[in-house]
Amino acid sequence: MANPKYTSSGTIVAEPEPITLDWSKTALVIIDMQRDFMEPGGFGETLGNDVSQLARAVKPIGAVLAACRDTGILVIHTREGHLPDLSDAPPAKLERGKPSLRIGDPGPMGRILIRGEDGHDIISELYPLDSEIVIDKPGKGAFYATELGDVLQNHGIENLVVCGVTTEVCVNTTVREANDRGYRCVVMSDGCASYFPEFHEMGLKMIKAQGGIFGWVADSAAILEAIYPTSKTLAAGASR
Ligand code: TIU
């Protein structure tokens, strides 16, 4: 391995049971950590949400992102948004509800949920490196109408560590899409957040219930421990 700290595999203490991942076949997928969802004046707030609910996910994601960058684990960022002419936005999405501003309307961070606008960009704390993959998606799931499936296949990826916002919308939709495509998904519990804390909790429960019907759930500490096993875990033979 190019990086001496790179462990070939690690066991994550997860629910409903521990899972061992081959890091060379694993990608960190960070869902939609965009200003439009995280900051006042964006899409999330136009829907009537308290965007401050999402801030708690930033630090845990940052810690795992740093570990992945350090060890060479593939990092993929996603962004939800639409083309400026809205040709990729179905009327059913554009017309629903009574938001204060609709998708495409001008807001304080540019046009709401439109590619290239300030609000569509990823928050500075988690900003992608030039070398990292960014997937632009028109829907809630990261596989629908994107190149994500091809990207994962080209990199030989079999497992996804998934985090981002929101737990029950884009994270859950992506995990369900990934699960049906055969990927093992580990959802980072403290690296996801919802505008509705109870939906966050239930969204995680839905993933790990029934023997892990959609995947596994683990917190950032457990994921970091699997990436960088401490001497204690190595002595116990728990990680490799
Ligand atoms: N509204 C909401 O909770 N989420 C979204 O619209 N998109 C994502 O989750 N990224």
Residue pair 55/37 in contact (Cβ under 8 Å)? The answer is: no
The pLDDT of 135-143, averaged and rounded, is 99
Tens of pLDDT, residues 91-127: 999 999 999 999 999 999 999 999 999 999 999 999 9
For the record, the structure tokens of 12 come out as 């994550």
Task: State the amino acid at position 41 in one-letter form.
Answer: G
For the record, the structure tokens of 19 come out as 């899972």
Please tell me the distance from the alpha carbon of residue 165 to that of residue 163, in angstroms, as a whole number. 7
CA of 44, closest atom in ligand 1? 1
> Measured between alpha carbons, how far apart are the two ends of the chain, in Å?
16
Task: State the amino acid at position 35 in one-letter form.
Answer: R
Q: Who contacts 210 (Cβ-Cβ below 8 Å, separation ≥6)?
A: none
Among 33, 61, 126, 166, the mutation site with the greatest number of ligand 1 atoms within 8 A of its Cβ is 166
Name the 3-class secondary structure at 11: strand
Confidence of residue 1 (pLDDT cuts 50, 70, 90): very low
Q: Is 137 an active-site residue?
A: yes
Q: Is the CB of 225 under 6 A from ligand 1?
A: no
Q: What's the pLDDT score for residue 6?
A: 60
Q: What's the pLDDT score for residue 240?
A: 41
Confidence of residue 84 (pLDDT cuts 50, 70, 90): very high
Name the 3-class secondary structure at 83: coil
Alpha-helical segments (H) within the chain: 35-38, 43-46, 58-71, 91-94, 148-154, 172-180, 197-212, 220-227, 231-236
The pLDDT of 20-25, averaged and rounded, is 97
Residue pair 12/226 in contact (Cβ under 8 Å)? The answer is: yes
Q: How far is the CA of 165 from the centre of ligand 1 (A)?
A: 7
Report residue 33: phi and psi, to 5°. Answer: -80, 65
Q: Is 170 an active-site residue?
A: yes
The pLDDT of 228-235, averaged and rounded, is 69
Q: How far is the CA of 21 from the centre of ligand 1 (A)?
A: 28
Q: Is 185 an active-site residue?
A: no
Residue 156 DSSP class: T
Residue 75 DSSP class: E
Name the 3-class secondary structure at 108: strand
